[in-house]
């Protein structure tokens, strides 16, 4: 799995972009067959580009379920289109609200005098910091540059413009600065069934250094980020950047290879708590939270391919 873009957008922002694109695709579909095809291809393409994003997969699942539900009732294009557009708007609103609540909960753990370390550019982290400022907290933030995409530079600039004393450091200096840090706050790409957190590469190293220095690590993850696939033992695939974007050409010519994964996995034992819209939980309590949300364990969640099949069957019957 090779990705051709160096810099990575926040999973939350990525989801919004995806939903906006999908809305346009759906709105311009002329019949249900075209709509189903476009829906399936756009989802498939996007998941292939970012297979780690649980929010992307979960949202896609909701949309496919909705499409099936609507098409079972009738195949009138206007109705299906309207229903799906409505669902996209609902999903967007729900997601934003969940992120907002999770960030708000996390912000309570930012205290006066804190020095918070973070990595990459997480919308959730940014919101938590904004909230803490609104609540009158005075603190500093140390941002890791976050190679290879260097998204940390953007976050550092944003925070400095917001009035937060911000320090930018290279990724290698994380442990060096950990002794003076009071907290680590990170976003997430996905949360696995065992509470492991997938996030921008370097996160697990940061969490390890925090654990060594007994600095607490908090993750912001609305429940849309929980990966249902991992409950059934599925491994989350980590995409890598095309080495040509990362290895200088003169080195590539003499045979130097490159390996630049976009994400890594932080084990639950290095995470103190995950802030969700349903509250602050220990990472190991993920199954409990999912049972609360879905009423059963394991939650009855269909696979995407299964849903696509069902959709096609409905079309056939027509």
Partner 1 sequence: MHELPERVLKIGEDIKSMRIRGAGRIARAAAEALAIAAEEFRGKNPDEFVRYLSSIGRYLTATRPTAVSLPNAVSYVLSRVHNALRSGASLEELQHITISTSKQFIEYSLAAVERIGKIGARRIENGDTVLTHCNSSAAISIIAHAYKQGKTMRVFATETRPKFQGYITARQLAKEGIDVTLIPDSAVRLVMKRVDKVVVGADAVTANGAVINKVGTSQIALAAKEARVRVFVAAETYKFSPVTVLGELVVIEERDPSEVLNLEILRQYTLLKIRNPAFDVTPPSYIDAIVTELGVIPPQAAIMILKDFFGWAIQEYESRGFEESEPSA
Residues that bind partner 1 (CB under 8 A): 119, 142, 144-148, 153, 156-157, 159-161, 163-177, 200-202, 204-205, 208-209, 212, 238, 243, 246-248, 250-251, 254-261, 264-265
Q: How far is the CB of 163 from partner 1 (least distance, A)?
A: 7
Residue whose CB is less far from partner 1, 201 or 231: 201
Residue whose CB is less far from partner 1, 40 or 142: 142
- For helices 123-134 and 77-107, give the axis angle rounded to 10 degrees: 50
Q: How far is the CB of 129 from partner 1 (least distance, A)?
A: 13
Q: How far is the CB of 97 from partner 1 (least distance, A)?
A: 30
Shortest CA distance to 66 belongs to which of 313, 279, 310? 310
Shortest CA distance to 118 belongs to which of 96, 103, 101, 100? 103
Q: Which helix (H) or strand (E) holds 279?
A: strand 279-281
Q: How far is the CB of 318 from partner 1 (least distance, A)?
A: 48
Q: How far is the CB of 174 from partner 1 (least distance, A)?
A: 6
- For helices 123-134 and 11-27, give the axis angle rounded to 10 degrees: 120
Residue whose CB is less far from partner 1, 96 or 177: 177
Query: Using CA of residue 277, residue 19, residue 303, residue 52, what is the dihedral sign?
Result: negative
Whether residue 279 contacts residue 105, with contact meaning beta carbons closer than 8 Å, is answered with yes
Residue whose CB is less far from partner 1, 120 or 223: 120
Residue whose CB is less far from partner 1, 155 or 185: 155
């Amino acid at each position: 799995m090779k990705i051709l873009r160096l810099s990575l957008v926040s999973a939350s922002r990525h989801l919004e972009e995806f939903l906006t694109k999908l809305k346009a695709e759906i709105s311009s579909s002329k019949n249900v067959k075209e709509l189903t095809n476009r829906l399936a291809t756009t989802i498939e393409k996007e998941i292939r580009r970012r297979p780690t994003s649980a929010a992307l997969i979960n949202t896609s699942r909701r949309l496919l379920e909705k499409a099936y539900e609507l098409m079972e009732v009738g195949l009138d294009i206007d109705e299906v289109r309207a229903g799906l557009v409505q669902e996209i708007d609902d999903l967007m609103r729900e997601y934003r609200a969940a992120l907002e609540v999770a960030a708000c909960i996390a912000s309570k753990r930012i205290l006066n005098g804190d020095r918070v370390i973070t990595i990459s550019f997480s919308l959730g982290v940014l919101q938590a910091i904004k909230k803490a400022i609104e609540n009158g907290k005075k603190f500093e933030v140390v941002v890791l540059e976050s190679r290879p995409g260097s998204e940390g530079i953007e976050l550092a600039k944003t925070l400095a413009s917001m009035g937060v004393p911000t320090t930018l450091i290279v990724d290698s200096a994380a442990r060096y600065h950990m002794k003076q840090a009071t907290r680590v706050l990170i976003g997430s790409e996905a949360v696995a069934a065992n509470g492991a957190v997938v996030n921008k590469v370097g996160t697990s190293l940061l969490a390890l250094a925090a654990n060594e220095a007994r600095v607490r690590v908090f993750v912001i993850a609305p429940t849309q980020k929980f990966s249902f696939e991992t409950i059934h033992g599925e491994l989350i695939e980590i995409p890598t950047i095309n080495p040509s974007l990362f290895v200088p050409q003169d080195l590539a010519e003499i045979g130097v290879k490159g390996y630049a994964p976009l994400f890594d996995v932080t084990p639950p034992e290095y995470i103190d708590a995950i802030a969700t819209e349903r509250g602050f939980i220990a990472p190991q309590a993920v199954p409990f939270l999912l049972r609360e949300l879905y009423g059963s364990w394991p939650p009855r969640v269909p696979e995407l391919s299964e849903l696509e099949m069902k959709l096609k069957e409905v079309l056939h019957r027509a």
